[in-house]
Structures are given as C-alpha cells and as structure tokens.
Amino acid sequence: MSQGEVKRLLEVTSNEKHKSALMLAYSCGLRVSEVAMMQVKDIDSERMVVVVHQGKGRKDRITLLSEKMLDQLRIYYKTYRPKVWLFENPLKDGPISGRTLQQVFRNSAKKAEIRSDATFHSLRHSFATHLLENGTDLRFIQELLGHSSSKTTEIYTHVSRASLSRITNPLDQL
C-alpha cells in the first residue's frame, strides 16, 4: 500500500479502538496476531518502544513507538480504559480476535477504496517498504520485523539503505 492509501485507510476508520489497532500494526510492523495479543504493559512510552512477546517463532522483539501512535493510544485509552489486553474483546474478558481485526481492515479498506488484494498483513509490508524508501538500513528493518534471516527481509530491497539514526517512523509522515 502507498502512504496515501494507508493515510486514507486510517482517516475513514472512525472507531478509536479500530483506528488504534490499524495504526499500531502499521507503525510497528506487527502481524494481526501480535496486535490482538498486545498488552497494555507492552507499550513503553518512556523508551518509545513497543515490546512484542512471543511473535512468530515464539520470539520476543522490540519495535518503534511513534509519537503519533502514542498520542492515538492516549486518546484510545481515555475512552476504553483497557486493563490487561490493549484491545479487549467486547466482553472485556480477553483480547480482540485476529478475525475481528481482519474484518475491521476489510471494512476500512473498502470505505477508503483501496485495491481488493490488500489485507491486514499489507500494513506490515507497507511499514517495511516505507522505512526502506526513507533510507532505513535493511538490517534495522530485519530487527524491527523480527526476521531471523536477512533473506526474509530482502523482499524489500528495491530501495537504498541508510543509518539507524535517520529512522523516521512512517506513521509520523502521514
């Protein structure tokens, strides 16, 4: 997805919980299961990072926390007051389901008139692609995505590399 498409997707998502979940997926490069299982304690606003526990391959990792994302999470938190799970299910007795998040994405994508082949996972791919386009070194993107092998991350190598000090979160550019 282009940055314009991501921006439209977020703009048409009026529900704060849904908007926050989509923004988190994009701004951190998260998988749908990682967004669903995110806990309130995993947001570290002091260090400006998001801790991903037991991602794919049962690996833990740290990814970026955007200033815009933190602002959005504060708006979301004031309304929903989640206890353990960042995005609780309607009964507030567990996390939101991945299926619900995928449906939220489909509904917003349709509203935003985004091409039909885009999926929730497109937010993760877009995060990586947009970082590369902004000059972020592939090694850093590999770490942020939690890829063990650079081969997995190399699908994004159609753009030049830069240093970690120049990383700009793509959400901050919307």
User: What positions carry a catalytic annotation?
Assistant: 31, 56, 121, 124, 147, 156
| Burial of 81 from C-beta contacts in 10 A (0-12 / 13-18 / 19+) | exposed
CB count in 10 Å sphere of residue 167:
17
Listing DSSP states for 10-79 in one string gives HHT--SHHHHHHHHHHHHHT--HHHHHT-BGGGEETTTTEEEE-S-GGG--EEEE--HHHHHHHHHHHHH
CB under 8 Å to 36, separation ≥6 — which residues? Answer: 87, 95, 96, 97, 98, 101
